[in-house]
Chain A
Amino acid sequence: MPVQEKSGQKIWHRRTTAKQFAVWFGWLIGVAIFVYCWQLISEKTIWFFVTDAPKQAADMAERMVPPAWSYMDTLWGPVWDTINIATLGTMIAIVIAVPVAFCAARNTTPSRTFVRPVALFIIVSSRSINSLIWALMLVTLIGPGVLAGVIAIGLRSVGFCAKLLYEAIEEIDPTQVEAIVATGASRGQQLSYGIVPQILPAFAGISVFRWDINIRESTVLGLVGAGGIGLQLDASISTLAWTQVSLILLVILATVIVSEWVSAKIRHAII
């Protein structure tokens, strides 16, 4: 307990002097890095545009109201596509993620030295490449359209689902599995009766959670030509049809809020 004696009075401090200096030094380094980075960004910025921005923003906002409600008729299709991209993509992701997760979990992997690193590499590379970049590649490969979006979302989500799932598998209660082993169950039976029932709630929760994130991500895939409402957004922005843009933003807002509500309800029901 760092207590200092000052003219006969005991004063309590939160840290010892050495620790306090260490904390200050840490802050100093942090601030220095930040200032350095900020300078580099500032060099590349045209500050006239930045000071001009409030006027531009007001101008843009003015041109955005009222939203072009009649445009809604053409938006139903893209909204449906967006939901399909997210849902089917999540399904693909789950189908791939389950075996990957079982290979990556320490307690179920067939081989710790060979299979596990491969599975972990699949997880990291799928997670570190954004769905927009996946979409960019797939559009070049199989052409623009909804299918590219579905596969992009699927590939992007494999890592996320597999990571959370294998962590859930590693945290299971081993005594239950042991009880199944004691009855003479084979490896497959151990999986299906000992492990799967324990991770099923987590599995359902993860899928719904990822679906919710995917709805949000699939709204922008259209920017690179992979279908969904992003196509309309891109087209409206490039033709400067600001009233359509504001309607699209409202539709995205509504879709995301509804999906968040649905996923919260389902997760609440499961857990």
Chain B
Amino acid sequence: MSEVAARRHWKRPPFIQNPLLRWGLWLVLAVYLALAFGTMEIDWSRVAEGVTRGQRFLASFFPPDFTSRWDSIEEGILESLWMTITSTVVGIMLSIPVGLGAARNLSWRPVYLFCRGILAVSRTFPEIILAIFFVKLFGFGPFAGFLALSVGTIGFYGKLLAEDIEDMDPVQAEAIKSVGAGWLQWLNYAVQPQVMPRMIGLGIYRLDINFRESAVVGIVGGGGIGATLLTSFDRYEFDSAAAILLIIIGIVMAMEYSSGYIRKWVQ
């Protein structure tokens, strides 16, 4: 018995059972990496130059300079915050009808396909590309950024809302229907209470995302802190840029902590 046990050696089972597939995937990966590095045009001398300069570059970020450009920083941050709040509110309001339409168990086929189409298109393009076009159409300033973020919110929130409604407990919905509720009453008393806790959490999460995105739509002219940040980079005022980045990190951190509390409080 002990002899058998000594000869048998245990090996842990691999993650992918099929050996052909396992080795095939490694092969594909190797070929891909070779191709990718082979075709990438990297100017190594420029990189080496940058790395030696990196220390000076990093040093110029310290100490962060909050004071000398404070007026434009303050204006940019406030603009970003306004954009964040309005676009989240408008985006969520618009995404509710779209999300209801895109839930398979609520709407009929043509409406479902139409709403899914809206969601797919608004999710595909990054906010920044939307912002480029809205700046072309509506002029520079926070309005364009607001629109871009709202459209982004529709895609994100509408899709998750639709999925949440599709996953809801049909028994409760049927109970409300059986007491003779109208469609709106049914939505209000059967569907809404089931999806609400998760959707509030996601709404706060989207607020967080919108703030982070609002920091970049300014790069293409959509208002907010991004414009100030780009200017400070272009003028090599890295200490001001560092200040802006620290403020952004601080606000995101504050939002993340408070969102945890709000979510706990809601549930």
B12 pairs with A219, CB closer than 8 A? no
B215 engages A130 (CB within 8 Å): yes
Return the CB mask of A107-149 against B: 1 if under 8 Å, else 0. Answer: 0000000000000000011011110110011001111011100
Contact flags (1/0) for B230-252 with A, using CB distance below 8 Å?
10010000000000010011001
CB neighbours (8 Å) of B41 from chain A are: 145-146
Total number of A residues with any Cβ neighbor in B under 8 Å = 57
Q: Name the CB-closest residue of B to A193.
A: B12
Query: Which one of A81, A141, A252 contacts B125 once the chains associate, using CB atoms below 8 Å?
Result: A252
- The interface bits of chain A over 27-68 (1 if a CB of B lies within 8 angstroms of the residue's CB, else 0) are 000100110011011101110011001001100100000000
> Which secondary structure dominates where chain B touches chain A?
helix
Q: CB-CB contacts of B213-230 with A at 8 A, as 1s and 0s? A: 101100110010000011
List of A residues within 8 angstroms of B43 by Cβ: 143, 145
| Cβ–Cβ contact B46 & A142, under 8 A | yes
Contacts of A249 in B (CB 8 A): 125, 129
Stretch at the interface among B81-89, B94-102, B111-119: B81-89
Least Cβ–Cβ distance between B147 and chain A, in angstroms = 9
Query: Judging by beta carbons under 8 Å apart, are A60 and B136 in contact?
Result: yes
Nearest CB to that of B256 among chain A residues? A124
A132: chain B residues at CB < 8 Å are 128, 216, 219
**Residues of chain A within 8 A of B143, CB atoms compared:** 41-42, 44-45, 50
Q: In the bound complex, do residue B219 and residue A224 qualify as a contact, i.e. CB atoms below 8 Å apart? A: yes
For residues 148 through 197 of chain B, which have their beta carbon under 8 Å from a beta carbon of chain A? 189
The answer to whether A53 and B137 touch across the interface, beta carbons within 8 angstroms, is: yes
**A256 interface contact, C-beta 8 A:** yes
- Whether A128 contacts B249 in the complex (CB less than 8 A), given A37-B82, A41-B86, A224-B219, comes out as yes
B24 on the A face (CB < 8 A): no
Give CA–CA (A37, B146) in the complex, Å.
11
A165 at the interface (CB under 8 A from B): no
Across the interface, name the chain B residue whose C-beta is closest to A33. B85
A253 → chain B, closest Cβ, in Å? 5
- The answer to the question of B132 belonging to the interface, with a C-beta cut-off of 8 Å to chain A, is yes
Q: Which residues of B contact A72 (CB under 8 A)?
A: none
Q: How far is the CA of A249 from the CA of B129 in the complex (A)?
A: 9
- Evaluate contact between B125 and A124: CB separation under 8 angstroms: no
At the interface, is chain A mostly helix, strand, loop or mixed? helix
Q: How large is the interface on B (under 10, 10 to 19, 20 to 34, 35 or more residues)?
A: 35 or more
A217 vs B256: C-alpha distance in the bound complex, in angstroms?
Answer: 22
Q: Do A49 and B138 have beta carbons less than 8 Å apart?
A: yes
Partner of B57, one of A136, A141, A256: A141
13 A-B pairs in the complex with CB atoms less than 8 angstroms apart: A30-B89, A45-B141, A60-B133, A146-B41, A146-B42, A147-B40, A147-B42, A147-B47, A219-B126, A220-B126, A223-B132, A237-B132, A256-B124
Chain B residues at the A interface, C-beta cutoff of 8 Å: 12, 15, 32, 36, 39-43, 46-47, 49-51, 53-54, 57, 78-79, 81-83, 85-86, 89, 120-121, 124-126, 128-129, 132-133, 136-139, 141-143, 146, 189, 212-213, 215-216, 219-220, 223, 229-230, 233, 245, 248-249, 252-253, 256
CB-based closest 5 A-B pairs: A128-B252, A49-B139, A142-B50, A143-B46, A37-B82
Show the binding face of A for B, using Cβ within 8 Å.
14, 30, 33-34, 37-38, 40-42, 44-46, 49-50, 53, 56-57, 60, 80-81, 84, 87-88, 124-125, 127-130, 132-133, 136-137, 140-143, 145-147, 193, 197, 200, 204, 216-217, 219-220, 223-224, 233, 237, 249, 252-253, 256-257
